[in-house]
Amino acid sequence: MMLLLAAFLPCQDGAAKPITKLVSKIDAGMNAMLKGAAPAEAFKPWPVANADRAPKIVEEIAQAGGSSLSTLGVEFDLVFLKEGKGVYRVRTVIYASENEASFISFRGSKTESTSGLALDTFADHNAPFRETADALVAALKAKDASKLPVADAETLVKLMPNQADDIRKEVSKTAETLKATVEEFGSVSWDEVRIRLDDHIFVVRDKEGAPKGMFKCEWEHKDGKLHLELKSFRPLEK
């Protein structure tokens, strides 16, 4: 019970905190793009894939009444290997703002997957991903759920009011799956960990701060570099 309760306690230095340094820069780039900056300049030093989609995306956001956006969640997984074979995967969605980070989703399971990138891939401006992975692994090894705070459901509901019921169910489930993952991880034998990134989701707001939709990007590794790929905007259903 104490492990479960610890997941809800405030944590100033949670395992996902390092990612906030990167998120603040990406959010600034997104808002610069909305104001007309070219993606290559807005997100520098990150290369941008599908940059030619930017004008249409900016137009769609404006038509929906959006004027700013910020990170809602980052899909951040750890894949653990033993002698080159996949043995365990921790799947998370991190809710991150400028000053704090917590988990919308957190669940582990056995796997044979070897996907993901070596930790050494994440250096320089990508170092916050490596720092987050290191802190997350340390918390799992120590069975320290106080470093793995669950996101506040009502904060998320304000950002996505049309998905209120689903959000409350997901966050409630996360408290249970986080507890189970922390306990199960203690029996996992591994000698390598990799990071697998996927979607980076943003909430779009109007001038009054009301949510207007969701914008999705994806993190991709190609040509030896980590790219941010512009994907699509989805307005809130009326």
pLDDT digits (tens, 9 = 90+) for 104-145: 999 999 999 999 999 999 999 999 999 999 999 999 999 999
Amino acid 238: pLDDT: 65
pLDDT digits (tens, 9 = 90+) for 52-106: 999 999 999 999 999 999 999 999 999 999 999 999 999 999 999 878 899 999 9
Q: Cite the DSSP H helix spans in the chain.
A: 2-6, 19-34, 39-42, 54-63, 127-142, 153-159, 164-185
Amino acid 88: pLDDT: 98
Number of domains in the chain: 1
Residue tagged 């905007």 (tokens): 233
Amino acid 98: pLDDT: 78
Q: Which domain holds residue 129?
A: 2-235
188, pLDDT greater than 80: yes
Cα radius of gyration rounded to whole Å, the chain: 18
pLDDT digits (tens, 9 = 90+) for 189-226: 999 999 999 999 999 999 999 999 999 999 999 888 89
DSSP state letters, 77-135: EEEEEETTEEEEEEEEEEEE-SS-EEEEEEEEEE-----SEEGGG--GGGHHHHHHHHH
Q: How many Å apart are CA 143 and CA 10, to the nearest integer?
A: 17
pLDDT digits (tens, 9 = 90+) for 19-34: 999 999 999 999 999 9
State the average pLDDT for the chain.
92
Q: How many Å apart are CA 162 and CA 178, to the nearest integer?
A: 25
Q: Give Cβ neighbours of residue 99 (< 8 Å, ≥ 6 apart).
A: 20
